[in-house]
Each structure stands twice: as C-alpha cells, then as structure tokens.
Structure 1
Amino acid sequence: MPRVLTSKIDQIDGNSRLPKYRQVINNILWEIDKEILKPGERIPSINETSEEYYLSRDTVEKAYRELSRRGIITSVPGKGYYVNVSPDLAKLKVIVIFNKLSPYKQAVYNSFVHTLGKNAATNLYIHGYDPKFFESIVLDNLGSYDYYVIMPHFYEHAEQVQRVLKKIPRNKLLFLDRKPDDIGGHVGAVYQDFRGDLQHALRTGIRLLEKYHTFYLVYPEDTRYPHEIKEGFREFCATIGIRHELISSCQGHQPQKGEAFLTIRESDMLQLIKQTQAAKLTLGQDVGLVSYNDTPVKEILAGGITVITTDHARMGQTAADMILNKRREVIRNPFFLIPRKSL
C-alpha cells in the first residue's frame, strides 16, 4: 500500500477560499516537485486519500481527474493511479481569462499560445462580463498557475472585481487589452488606450474625411463596448470641427451624401453597405465608412473597408514574450488606421 501523502500543509484547510480538490492537487504537485513522489510510483487511491483528509470521494476524484487531464498522473485499470514517467512540471502553467471569444480575441489567444510554444500549458476561461463567475474562476484556480492573464472588461461592480484581482499575486498578474487604473502594485499589461488610440488613428485620415460634412459613430447602447470610444470620437470631431452625432444603430437612418460613419459591430457595417447601395450612393465617394477592428474579409468587402484597429496578433505575442522573459512592463499596443476604398 502506498504511504499517505505528506505535504508542507498538514491537512486540507476547510476555511480556505481555495477549493478542497485544488488543495489536493497542490499537495500532490508539491510532492512530485520535491521528489517525494517519483515517476512511476503509485499514489494513494481515491479511498485512501478520502479517508486521510476526511474528504468526499467526489472531491478526490475531481482532483485526480484534473491531474490526469494535465498528464501528471495516469490511471492503470485494476491497479490505481501512478505518477507519469515524465510529468511535465517544468512547463509554465498559465490561465487566460477573457471577457468573450470574438474573432479578434481568438487572434490574440492564438498568437499568445503560439509564441509560448512548448514552454507553457494554457487553460482558457470566458467570464462573460459576469463578476460573480469571474470571482469563482479566480478563486477556484488561486495557487494553481504561474501566471494569470486577464482581460478585465467590466463596466459594473468595479469594487467586487478589484477585490478579486487583488487576491492574485502582483508578479503573476498580466492584463490584456485593458488595464484597470487603480489596481495598485507593479503588474504587467499590454493594453489599448481606447480614447487616445481612436483619436490618433483618425487624425491620420483627416484628409480622407474632408469630403464629408457629418461624421456618425454607431455605438450600440445595449452592448458592452468601452465608453472611452465615445469620448475619443467626440473629442476628435470637436478638434477638427466636423459635425458629429452618436446613433445606436444604422436601422432607421438612411445614409445621405456627405455623411461618414464609424461602426463597431459588423452587423451595422453590413447594414450601412446595403443601405448605401440601395440608395444608389457610392461608398467612399458619397458616403464614408470606417469600421472598428480589421478582419481578412474587410480587405475585400465592397472593394475594401477602411478600418481603425489594434494589432491583435502583436498583443498576444508581446504578452507571451513578457512571460517567457519574466518582464513586468506596461505596454501600449499599436493601433492605426488602414485606409481602403470605403473612405
């Protein structure tokens, strides 16, 4: 019979915010790291661990399933669980928590994982702007990862989110896309300055905007987009002296000659293109269109859609480089205008 697990913790802490199954995982990982448990050695069975720590079988089973999934232990039918011959504990363990998984976020994540290569194992979670769900993700995984890479897009319950973020060690925390202003401590970030970036990018296209008398921002109020986009748009238009207005949708607004539009959602972009064509107006001459964020389709759609965009692949690559080189920096990701036929 294998001996009972020992650990730097004498027992599972029932008062800890870290779930008990995570404490079991950390216990076993610690023993492997200290070579108390060696490759090929059998670990205590689910029943033995359950009895020793006064845990339910379900809790221990959940811990063992996670360890098996990560390739740390393997199950031999009829014999039990064994430490893998070559448990890959040398890999960095990275948890990535995004607000959503759009094509743009997918590009960030793909570049991030590609740059890390075989040096790290990553797990992706989506918080969906839900502070309570975000809290459960973080607390369930505290102490289990080397780095916590987070897109902190929250527009409500800021204090709750801040409390959760402050539970993560500063040297393990890296923000993507957005950086909280009041998190405190020296943390890493690769971010967009939504307000300043928009103004800077549009300034490079001022000559293209000269043929339009009114500039509209199509900003859907029922969705969660950074409010800094509205602020940056208003400030840019006021600076160059162009008439401007915010509308929530292209539906119900028939484009007129001399009007330009900045759209965030692709559905609004497509609606505007259809309306322009139906009105026998020419995109890029009679009506101007700028779209937020670039995609391969926008390069060819309607002869080419002008975009303002960050470099999503660059964001993921920079974040991964910071982890691999153990740097904690705050880096503003490149953001620019790509002029095409629609403006």
Structure 2
Amino acid sequence: MLLDKSEKIAVDSRTPKYLQVVNLILEDIEKGKLKIGDRIPSINETSFDFLLSRDTVEKAYNELRDRGIISSVRGKGFYISSTHMGHKVKVLLLFNKLSSYKKIIYYSIIETLGADATVDLQIHHYNRNLLEDLLESNIGNYNYYVLAPHFFNSLGHPETAYDLITRIPKDKLLIIDRAVKDHENEFPGVYQDFSKDIFEVLESGISHLRKYTRLILVFPKGDLYPVEIMDGFKRFCFFHDFKNLIVDGVDDDEQLDMGDCHIVLAETDLVNIVKKSREQMFKLGRDIGIISYNDTPLKEILAEGITTISTDFQKMGKTIAEQILGIEDRIPIKNQFRMTLRKSL
C-alpha cells in the first residue's frame, strides 16, 4: 500500500510535488471517493504514505484550504469542506505602472489563467509607502501576489523595499519584470536582467555596430528607467572598445552627427531622431543608426523598420500564470531578451 501511494508522485514531473498531492486529493473528490465531511489523513500520515517531507504536504494542505476544499478542526484533523471544483484561485497583481507593455503582461496572465482564477490589479507607482498600504489592505485576501519590485526613494535612487516584500508569505509571492537586488535567487517569478540583457544583446549585433564611430545611449532623467541599463551599456563599450556617450534626451535644436548609433528608451526621443535624420538627409542604417527599446508593430514600419531590443512581455505573463497554475516550476526564471534587426541598424 505504501509503495502504491508513493508511486503516484512523479519525481521528474515539472508539476511541484505539493501540487501533485493537491491534484490527487481533488481526483478522489471528483471520483466520489471523498465527500463533504470525510476526514483525510494527517500531514504526518500523508508525509509517511507518499514518502514526502512534512513541509511539502503542509504546503499542499494549505493550498487546499486556501481553495476552500478542506478545513481543519483543532485536535481532530482535516476534513473535506467543499466538493465544488470550480473554486477560483485569487491573484493580486502589484505593478509599478500601467504602461502598454504592462498591459501586454496583464492580458497574457488573464488569458493563460482563463476561468481558473480571478485577477485584481493595483499600481504602486514605484512608491514603497503606497506598497505598504496596499499590503496592509490585501494580505490574506489572495492565494498569490505577483509583484513588480521597481522602487525609488525620495532622491530618485533605486531601492529594494525588501523589508516590505518579505511581509508577503513566501509560498504566495511571485516577482515579475525585475529581480530583487541582492536577493535574485530568493523569490520565484520571471525577471529581466537589465544590465546583462543589454550587454549580451549588443554583443549579438556587434558586427552591425562596428560600422559606427560612436554609440549613444539616450537615457531620460526622471522617468524611472532601470539604471542597470546604463551599467550594461558602459561595460559593453569598455570591453569592446566603443566610443560612447550617455545623454538624457535629444533637443529640438541639436544636430545629429554622422556615424553615431543611438540606443533609445523613450518614444519621444525615437521620433525626434527619425525626424532629424530626415531633415539632415541621413540614411538610417548607413549614416546613423537607431536601436529602440521594446518592440511594437509601429516600429516595424516606421522609417522602413526600426531595430529593437526587447523582452517578450507576452511570454513573461504566460510564464507567471503557468507558475501560478503549477505547470511551470516556481523558481526564478530570466525572460528572453532579443534584438530584432531592421533597416535602422
């Protein structure tokens, strides 16, 4: 009997073991083997029967309790309290802003979760005080919390807000879009590595960059972009001996210099550079180059095609949703970042 039960746990499955326990109990409910009021084995008994750690079984039981499937009676054990299989997982998204790219992530999460979850969205606007208020109002009300940990202090310097983040139960927290600095391996979720991403993606296009005499990163002040982008850019230029410059914008009365390649974060700067290149009769991809952050359909057709570097926001949302559903392992996952080469380079 012991062997039969333990064999039901697939060691090599991508589904975490605690979710396999959850699914086995739900399967018994669906088949009518367990009914409302029936007692299920204790955590210690299930741990022994399935050859699993006590922590794994406790996590499975907490999941079932959060779904309203089981309840505990002190001193007596765990009982089936509902056989309603349509109980939805509740998810709270805590985003730093609602940009067009965050909307792609949001809708990807919604689409992947489907009818299995209800999803609420709150914006913390990079503000740790607002995050604290949101946590005080919502901790305990959701099965999962998906946090974009982008924070800046009053001086505009990045901060981790680690003390606040750890208030969220660890088994219910997933990070999205960026890792928590100095705690990159502590929290599951999907993240960009902004410094490493720009370094590696520029290396992938280095044969196209070599025809330019200087690389210019246009990094706007006050827009709360990840400063790690500048770090990765500087490292790339140093290791590959590129003349380089970092500016905070492109002024209307400023002329472009032939031989420069601009790496642009803001759409307004992209438009300005395209307009100026036309005014100065420069051909994109020959006289000057442009690389724009974050791909959009418009950039595919603007000026015969703008080269972009971008993460896959739809994939990011899909992976987070699959971690919630237990399809994907709940571990830190670096999202793909790639260059889409077009005529502007």
Q: TM-score range by the shorter chain?
A: 0.7 to 0.9
Per-residue deviation, 1:283 = 1.1
What amino acid maps onto 1:278 in structure 2?
E
Q: Which residue of 2 aligns with 1:195?
A: 195
1:1-343 paired onto structure 2 within 5 Å:
90-156=87-153, 161-183=161-183, 186-251=186-251, 252-325=253-326, 327-343=329-345
1:165-220: CA deviations, max 9, x gaps?
11110000000011113459843120001000111111111111121101100001
CA distance in 2, matches of 1:150, 1:278: 44
**Would the alpha carbon gap of residues 160 and 199 (structure 1) be closer, same or farther in structure 2, given more than 3 Å must change?**
closer
CA distance in 2, matches of 1:300, 1:217: 23
What amino acid maps onto 1:261 in structure 2?
H
**Would the alpha carbon gap of residues 172 and 34 (structure 1) be closer, same or farther in structure 2, given more than 3 Å must change?**
closer
- The answer to whether the 8 Å contact 1:135/1:161 transfers is no
CA distance in 2, matches of 1:118, 1:286: 52
- The answer to whether the 8 Å contact 1:171/1:186 transfers is no
Q: Could you say what the CA RMSD is over the residues aligned between the two structures, in angstroms?
A: 2.4
TM-score (norm 1): 0.73
- The answer to whether the 8 Å contact 1:151/1:178 transfers is yes
Q: Which residue of 1 aligns with 2:9?
A: none
Per-residue deviation, 1:145 = 0.2
Per-residue deviation, 1:307 = 0.5
Unpaired runs of 5+ residues, structure 2, are 1-64, 72-82
- The answer to whether the 8 Å contact 1:33/1:89 transfers is no
1:260-316: CA deviations, max 9, x gaps?
100000110001101111111111110100001111111111101001100000000
**Would the alpha carbon gap of residues 91 and 238 (structure 1) be closer, same or farther in structure 2, given more than 3 Å must change?**
same
CA distance in 2, matches of 1:205, 1:184: 27
CA distance in 1, matches of 2:185, 2:200: 29
> Greater CA deviation, 320-329 or 215-224?
320-329
Per-residue deviation, 1:241 = 1.0
Per-residue deviation, 1:117 = 0.6
User: Sequence identity of aligned pairs in percent?
Assistant: 39
CA distance in 2, matches of 1:119, 1:165: 26
CA distance in 2, matches of 1:301, 1:160: 37
**Would the alpha carbon gap of residues 113 and 289 (structure 1) be closer, same or farther in structure 2, given more than 3 Å must change?**
same
**Would the alpha carbon gap of residues 277 and 87 (structure 1) be closer, same or farther in structure 2, given more than 3 Å must change?**
farther
TM-score (norm 2): 0.72
Q: Which residue of 1 aligns with 2:62?
A: none
What amino acid maps onto 1:256 in structure 2?
D
Q: Secondary structure at the match of 2:151?
A: coil
Per-residue deviation, 1:150 = 0.5
Per-residue deviation, 1:322 = 0.7
Unpaired runs of 5+ residues, structure 1, are 1-28, 36-85
> Greater CA deviation, 149-158 or 250-259?
149-158
Q: Secondary structure at the match of 1:314?
A: helix
Aligned length in residues: 265
CA distance in 2, matches of 1:126, 1:89: 29
**Would the alpha carbon gap of residues 342 and 160 (structure 1) be closer, same or farther in structure 2, given more than 3 Å must change?**
closer
What amino acid maps onto 1:166 in structure 2?
T
Q: Secondary structure at the match of 2:246?
A: strand
**Would the alpha carbon gap of residues 246 and 299 (structure 1) be closer, same or farther in structure 2, given more than 3 Å must change?**
same
Q: Which residue of 1 aligns with 2:23?
A: none
